[in-house]
A and B are shown apart, each in its own frame.
Chain A
Amino acid sequence: MKKALCLILAALMLFAVTGCNNNTASEGTVKLGMPSGGSVTPQEIIDGFVAEYGNKYNIEIDDTPWGEFQTKLNLGIASGTAPALYLMDSGYVADAGYAGANEDLKPLIDRDLNVDDFVSAIFSGTDANGHIWGVPHAMNAAVIFYNKDLFDKKGIEYPKADWTFDDMIEKAKALTYDEDGDGEKDFYGLQWEKNISVGWLPLMLSYGLEPVSADFTKAQIDTPEVKKAWDTLIEWGEGGLEITPRRDFAGLYPDWWQEKVAMQIQQVSFINTLEQNAPDLNYDVQVIPAGPGGDQNCVYVPNMWAIYGRSDQTSKDAAWDFIKYYYSEESQDICAKYNKGGFPIRKSVYEKMGETKPANIKGIIQGIDDRGHTLCEGPGWSEWRTIIDKAFKDYVSLTPTKPREQILTETQNDVQTVLDEANAKKVQ
């Protein structure tokens, strides 16, 4: 028995050492961070790059599940071992750039890319001083998904690009009803979210409001206009339109694809979820309607490719080669085909684009190009947006934990503190 145990132990040890030690980081290895590998960046592109540049660089792909990638990246940056290339939440890009963690891509873009080939979003990682700390992986825009069958059933006209909040509410009211007469609603017209990208930010922008001033020095939360904007969601809720309290499952929104809800605000990456879960759904997308003052917006999240500023020159070259490869016409066409995490940024893709599902993708691209708005990324972003996330959730709930006026005042102060602190650091 004991001998057997020893043998097993020895065999396992051998496994641990030989089976797993074959590519310890050697000199000249270039590490590229690809969160969730092929399910975020099409595998064809990763493989294609390795095939083309495998002779030039000793490439190692750091593939980490999406949700945990930022955690691992933190550790890598703190210990100076981050991959040469990584995807970064757009909100961190500026902070990381100022701190020297991200390389300034401006000179590289000027040198190697013809910016006319790209939509304006390519510059969304630019800071106030003209540095570019990251370039978009894709544009994940917030749009209204609508179920054509539910619209047809009630004979209601589909939303048009120039629609307004009033149109949306009118349609939503007509589409919220009790079919079997049991006194409980069976169908809902509209589902709105509560987080930044598909919740309070598009809402506020529709009212012509920005949460912070353009130079990121002042919080702009505790104003009568903001109160009015935020109250909108409560009014909808009281009107029985909004059913977000049904907790969402990891971005799945089953209510929507099970055809219980007619309109749903969501990011375009939701198309992937629909393809996976309800491939036959008859739906389309439309831009977010114009608010009461006529302000219309198209909020998009550009998660960023960034180059680790503290890696060696070979690694930086390799990382930039990857970005160029990713932005090549061939790769961007692949991106358009799989549509992972939003729309590609090369214009030629849209010139070539034929029929799409959902049909109105071109309309959304047009929307982004006309009035695209990112998530107000700037100093202290991750902190103040979490503060507003929480405050907004509390504010619009049926039983807020404190008076709503007080929520606004406290949020104003908290956000201001964060901005002051972050800006003070920037000056140093």
Chain B
Amino acid sequence: MSKKHARWSWLFLTPFIIGMLVFTFYPMIFSVYYAFCDYNIFNPPKWVGLANFARLLPDPATWKAYRNSFAFALTYIPVQIFLAMIFASALNQKLKTIGFWRVIYYLPSLTPWVAVCTVFTVLYNPAYGPINYFLSFFGLRSEFIDSTNWFVVVTSLSAISIWKGVGSQTIYMLAAMQNISSDVLEAADIDGAGPIAKFFKIKMPLLTPMIFLLLLLSIKGAVGVFDSFYTMLGGGTGVNENLTVPGVLQYEYEFVFRKVGLGAAMSWLTFAIVGIITIIQTKSEEKWVHYE
């Protein structure tokens, strides 16, 4: 690239940089500041040093929230990526009906959380819910989000997130699959590779960059999960300590208890944890992600 033209980069990047400074970094600086303050919104923030973190770290609620978040991620991420790969492979068969399927699978992604939570609260209800009614024909029954077992509750909610998110992940995966040049696959055909071998030996490695990207994005999504937990488990009276997630705790601190500093500290704790996971992942990237 000619050096002379590098100054054009300023033209292209200035609006975006302004946007980041104003809409990301400016609010972020305040949030960092509040994390070290006692701030109840009525009075100006007062510097308290590490007091907010000192309160969060020994609190069992904090770690239960991360435990739930972790359990949520462990069920949500692998299942979603796995399903997205299956559906994308199926869609990639040059079907005439591809448009129809694509609409159907993307529908949940277009649905607002308010509506999703309303529908699933009814679907999951142990007493009236149609899911339990259906299961009753097989002599099965689950309490879903009313269960006393936190893991059942968390997986019930991660199922909703999978339902909502798998469509868009399928589309991304499909885009990656369509980018695999047909030469490579034809070459494999000539070599006489079977469909399964073809998938694992040839397609899979070429898909790893997309899988890696989806993985990183899903972690952010899983840790940030809020709407379903807050609406479906709390209903306004606070989410049980056993079932809470970081997003909900942070909301409670900031908007219910009006301890903005504590809420900010919680979100930076989350930031640190996700940051560490991301760094580990990026380090492992070269071991399994293949770029052409």
| Residues in B210-246 with C-beta less than 8 Å from chain A | 235-238, 240-242
By the criterion CB–CB under 8 Å, are A246 and B126 in contact? Answer: yes
Q: How far is the CA of A13 from the CA of B240 in the complex (A)?
A: 46
By the criterion CB–CB under 8 Å, are B146 and A401 in contact? Answer: no
- B95-103, B198-206, B255-263 - interface stretch: B255-263
Nearest CB of chain B from residue A203's CB, rounded to whole Å? 15
Say what secondary structure dominates the interface of chain A.
helix
By the criterion CB–CB under 8 Å, are B242 and A401 in contact? Answer: yes
Q: How far is the CA of A78 from the CA of B235 in the complex (A)?
A: 25
- B11-19, B21-29, B38-46, B183-191 - interface stretch: B38-46
By the criterion CB–CB under 8 Å, are A246 and B43 in contact? Answer: no
By the criterion CB–CB under 8 Å, are B40 and A99 in contact? Answer: yes
By the criterion CB–CB under 8 Å, are B256 and A382 in contact? Answer: yes
Q: How far is the CA of A75 from the CA of B6 in the complex (A)?
A: 43
Q: Report the number of A-B residue pairs with Cβ-Cβ less than 8 Å.
A: 69
Q: Which of B40, B125, B148 touches A398 (beta carbons < 8 Å)?
A: B148
Q: Which of B43, B236, B241, B255 touches A71 (beta carbons < 8 Å)?
A: B255
By the criterion CB–CB under 8 Å, are A246 and B255 in contact? Answer: no
List the A side residues contacting B242 at CB < 8 Å. Answer: 394, 401
Q: Using known A-B contacts A247-B121, A249-B121, A382-B258, determine if residue A399 contacts B148 with beta carbons closer than 8 Å.
A: yes
Q: How far is the CA of A223 from the CA of B145 in the complex (A)?
A: 32
List the A side residues contacting B236 at CB < 8 Å. Answer: 67
By the criterion CB–CB under 8 Å, are A99 and B43 in contact? Answer: yes
Q: Does A389 contact B (CB under 8 A)?
A: yes
- Count how many chain A residues have C-beta atoms less than 8 Å from C-beta atoms of the other chain: 35
List the B side residues contacting A398 at CB < 8 Å. Answer: 148
Annotate B128-163 by CB proximity to A: 1 below 8 A, 0 otherwise: 100000000000000001101000000000000000
Q: Does A263 contact B (CB under 8 A)?
A: no
Nearest CB of chain B from residue A104's CB, rounded to whole Å? 15
Q: Does A100 contact B (CB under 8 A)?
A: yes
Q: How far is the CA of A96 from the CA of B42 in the complex (A)?
A: 7
List the A side residues contacting B128 at CB < 8 Å. Answer: 254
Q: How far is the CA of A74 from the CA of B251 in the complex (A)?
A: 12
Q: Does B127 contact A (CB under 8 A)?
A: yes
Q: Which of B122, B237, B240, B254 has the most CB of A within 10 A?
A: B237
Q: Does A248 contact B (CB under 8 A)?
A: yes
List the B side residues contacting A74 at CB < 8 Å. Answer: 41, 254-255, 258
Q: Which of A100, A247, A254 touches B146 (beta carbons < 8 Å)?
A: A247
Q: Which of B42, B126, B240, B252 touches A394 (beta carbons < 8 Å)?
A: B240
Q: Which of A71, A101, A195, A245 touches B42 (beta carbons < 8 Å)?
A: A101
By the criterion CB–CB under 8 Å, are B257 and A195 in contact? Answer: no
List the B side residues contacting A390 at CB < 8 Å. Answer: 238, 240-241
By the criterion CB–CB under 8 Å, are B252 and A397 in contact? Answer: no
Chain A: CB-nearest residue to B242: A401
| Residues in A183-234 with C-beta less than 8 Å from chain B | 194-196
Q: Does A250 contact B (CB under 8 A)?
A: yes
| Residues in A72-89 with C-beta less than 8 Å from chain B | 74, 77-78
By the criterion CB–CB under 8 Å, are A77 and B42 in contact? Answer: yes
Q: How far is the CA of A78 from the CA of B30 in the complex (A)?
A: 13
Q: How far is the CA of A246 from the CA of B260 in the complex (A)?
A: 34
Q: Does A70 contact B (CB under 8 A)?
A: yes
By the criterion CB–CB under 8 Å, are A386 and B256 in contact? Answer: yes
Q: Which of B121, B126, B255, B258 touches A95 (beta carbons < 8 Å)?
A: B258
Q: How far is the CA of A67 from the CA of B122 in the complex (A)?
A: 20
Q: How far is the CA of A96 from the CA of B40 in the complex (A)?
A: 10
Q: How far is the CA of A399 from the CA of B242 in the complex (A)?
A: 12
By the criterion CB–CB under 8 Å, are A383 and B42 in contact? Answer: no
Chain A: CB-nearest residue to B238: A386
Nearest CB of chain B from residue A266's CB, rounded to whole Å? 14
Q: How far is the CA of A254 from the CA of B122 in the complex (A)?
A: 12
Q: Using known A-B contacts A70-B255, A401-B242, determine if residue A247 contacts B125 with beta carbons closer than 8 Å.
A: yes
Nearest CB of chain B from residue A187's CB, rounded to whole Å? 14
Q: Does A393 contact B (CB under 8 A)?
A: yes
Q: How far is the CA of A196 from the CA of B237 in the complex (A)?
A: 9
Nearest CB of chain B from residue A153's CB, rounded to whole Å? 22
Nearest CB of chain B from residue A80's CB, rounded to whole Å? 11
Chain B: CB-nearest residue to A399: B148
Nearest CB of chain A from residue B251's CB, rounded to whole Å? 9
By the criterion CB–CB under 8 Å, are B41 and A78 in contact? Answer: yes
| Residues in B40-62 with C-beta less than 8 Å from chain A | 40-43
Q: How far is the CA of A394 from the CA of B254 in the complex (A)?
A: 24
Q: How far is the CA of A383 from the CA of B258 in the complex (A)?
A: 9
By the criterion CB–CB under 8 Å, are B257 and A245 in contact? Answer: no
| Residues in B49-108 with C-beta less than 8 Å from chain A | none
List the B side residues contacting A71 at CB < 8 Å. Answer: 255
Nearest CB of chain B from residue A389's CB, rounded to whole Å? 5
List the A side residues contacting B145 at CB < 8 Å. Answer: 247
Q: Using known A-B contacts A383-B257, A401-B242, determine if residue A245 contacts B41 with beta carbons closer than 8 Å.
A: no
Nearest CB of chain B from residue A192's CB, rounded to whole Å? 14
Q: How far is the CA of A92 from the CA of B41 in the complex (A)?
A: 12
Annotate A362-404 by CB proximity to B: 1 below 8 A, 0 otherwise: 0000000000000000000011001001100110011101000
Question: Which residues of A pack against B, CB within 8 Å?
Answer: 67, 70-71, 74, 77-78, 92, 95-96, 99-101, 194-196, 245-250, 254-255, 382-383, 386, 389-390, 393-394, 397-399, 401, 425
5 contacts between A and B (CB under 8 A): A247-B125, A255-B127, A386-B252, A390-B241, A401-B242
Question: Which residues of B pack against A, CB within 8 Å?
Answer: 40-43, 121-122, 125-128, 145-146, 148, 235-238, 240-242, 252, 254-260
9 new A-B contacts at CB < 8 Å, known A77-B41, A247-B125, A401-B242: A194-B237, A247-B145, A254-B128, A383-B256, A383-B257, A386-B238, A386-B256, A389-B238, A393-B240
Q: Which 10 residue pairs spanning A and B have beta carbons closest together?
A: A99-B42, A78-B41, A246-B127, A386-B238, A399-B148, A195-B237, A383-B257, A101-B42, A389-B237, A389-B238
